[in-house]
Amino acid sequence: MAALSLPAVLAAAPAQARTAEPAWSADLSTVDGDDVNVAVRGDALTLRDPAWRPAEGVGQGYLLPAGRDLDRPVNRVTARVRGDVPADAAVEVDVRGRTADRDWTEWTPAGEVLAASVTTVQVRVTLTTTGATPAVRGVDLVGDTAPAPRAGVAAAPLTFRVFATREGLPGGTTANGHVIKQRDHFVALPSRRGLAPKNTGDYTVRVCRTDNSRCEYAPVWDVGPWNTKDDYWNPPSVRQMWQDLPQGKPQAQAAYQDGYHGGKDESGRRRVGNPAGIDLGDGTFWDGLKLSDNAWVNVSYLWTGSGPTGVVGTAGDPLNIRAQASTSAAVKGLAANTAKVIIECHVEGEQVTGPFGTSTIWDRIGPDHYVSDAYLRTGSDAPVAPKC
């Protein structure tokens, strides 16, 4: 499909303005395995099956075009959607950017300021409906530098104590298109701002029992429980909804414990039946944390931290986390395949052969949490973090 035309207001802008502000149109012509429940029909992007409803309870799907390299840094991207959007439908455009250390910022609604200045950006076009189907013919984008950017990424990831429930639903499909397996290893958070694309761990959490005796590093592959726009880990100044709640307190917890919002979820239709701020896949629940019932847990939202990273590569089963740099050391939990972890430091230990070679390097990815570097894709055969 030919490149989409920019709206007249952009086309008429002076040449100097066009040079100062990168402008382009999203490629809506190709749907592939990264996309969920969308199709191109005629000249428009639409929902492939308007009746398909994941956990959020509305017909939805999204397109994830490839990232775009810009010729200058930006920290904000605004969007203009062209097409037919009925009153009972919506089209949302979210943006993320790749930082200097090659990590992605959190998904941010178009028009809001990103967490950092970036030169590579990616958009996500989400279509939802409770009736008629939207038809998107163009998404026009402009990048610029906002005068008051958000605060930078913290050195240590944000961590909060929240209530966890078991998601279950094997055979169902998550918000990013993943088909849930028996004893699956992933989590759901009640906001798309931390939703990883399918088969990636771009957004990963470390979820631990409150005594930290067992933990799992797991990718965020679904949206829920209870809400869809509650990025409660963010400060109130940038939280998408419920900005009068304290940072780290999910809306569902406030509704359940305090009667907040009449005790109901964001839709106002469902009475909140528990204070959950995270859902756990069955494998994360039973095998990673060895829980037998819903429970309070400590959750670290790893993309809010900084430092060198590695991606777990096991091609299936999760990786054991060891208390020391040895395969005979006590198991402290699991790291799911594709999870993206922060590498705090490294030590020399037992030689291990894995998918990324043979190595005596062991990386510490959390307090007393060690994994062999042979199982982490770091982009280097040498240590990427200092010695512990």
Q: What is the pLDDT of residues 143-179, one digit of tens each?
A: 999 875 445 445 789 999 999 999 999 999 999 999 9
pLDDT of residue 59: 85
Rounded to whole angstroms, how far apart are CA atoms 376 and 22?
36
Look at the domain 21-144 and name its fold: Jelly Rolls (2.60.120)
Which ranges of 320-373 would DSSP assign to H, the alpha helix? none
Residue whose structure tokens are 């919002």: 261
Domain covering 309-377 in this structure, CATH number? 2.30.30.40
What whole-number distance in Å separates Cα of residue 109 and Cα of residue 76? 10
Q: Does residue 369 surpass a pLDDT of 70?
A: yes
Closest CA to 248 of 295, 195, 304: 304
- Interval 276-307: pLDDT, tens: 999 999 999 999 999 999 999 999 999 999 89
Say what the pLDDT of residue 155 is: 73
Residue 56 predicted with pLDDT over 70: no
What CA–CA distance (Å, rounded) separates 338 from 336? 6
**Virtual CA dihedral for 239, 245, 248, 249, nearest 10 degrees?**
-130
Question: Tokens 């809506």 sit at which residue?
Answer: 28
**How much is the average pLDDT of 71-90?**
94
CA neighbor of 371 nearest in space, from 336, 221, 210: 336
**Token pair for residue 104?**
């992605």
Give the mean model confidence (pLDDT) for residues 204-224: 97
pLDDT score at 39: 96
Fold of 158-304: Barwin-like endoglucanases (2.40.40)
According to DSSP H, which parts of the chain are helical?
8-11, 15-20, 251-258, 282-283
Q: Give residue 64's pLDDT.
A: 97
Q: Of all helices (H) and strands (E), which one includes residue 272?
A: none
pLDDT of 184 higher than 90: yes
Residue 225 has pLDDT above 60, yes or no: yes
pLDDT per position as a tens digit, 265-278: 999 999 999 999 99
Across 89-103, 224-238, 309-323, 364-378, least confident range: 89-103
Statement: residue 1 has pLDDT above 50: no
| In the chain, domain spans | 21-144, 158-304, 309-377
Average pLDDT value over all residues in the chain? 91
Say how many C-beta atoms besides its own lie within 10 A of residue 69's C-beta.
10
Of all residues in the chain, what percent carry a pLDDT higher than 70? Answer: 92
H/E stretch holding 145 reads none
Question: Measured at the alpha carbon of residue 50, what is the angle toward residues 96 and 168, in degrees to the nearest 5?
Answer: 70
Inter-CA distances, 345 with 163, 235, 341, 369, Å: 30, 28, 12, 11
- At 6, phi and psi to the nearest 5? -75, 150
**Long-range contacts: 154-158, Cβ < 8 Å, 24+?**
154/304, 154/305, 154/306, 155/305, 155/306, 155/307, 156/305, 157/206, 157/300, 157/301, 157/302, 157/303, 157/304, 157/305, 157/342, 158/233, 158/248, 158/300, 158/301, 158/304, 158/305
pLDDT in tens, 92-108: 999 999 987 778 999 99
Q: Identify the pLDDT of residue 249.
A: 98
pLDDT at 380: 92
Q: What is the 8-class DSSP label of residue 288?
A: I
Report whether pLDDT(20) > 70. no
Band (15; pLDDT cuts 50, 70, 90): very low
Give the mean model confidence (pLDDT) for residues 333-357. Answer: 97
For tokens 């029992």, the residue is: 209
Calculate mean pLDDT across residues 211-232: 96
Query: Quick one: residue 256, left, alpha or beta (phi over 0 = left, psi -120 to 50 = alpha)?
Result: alpha
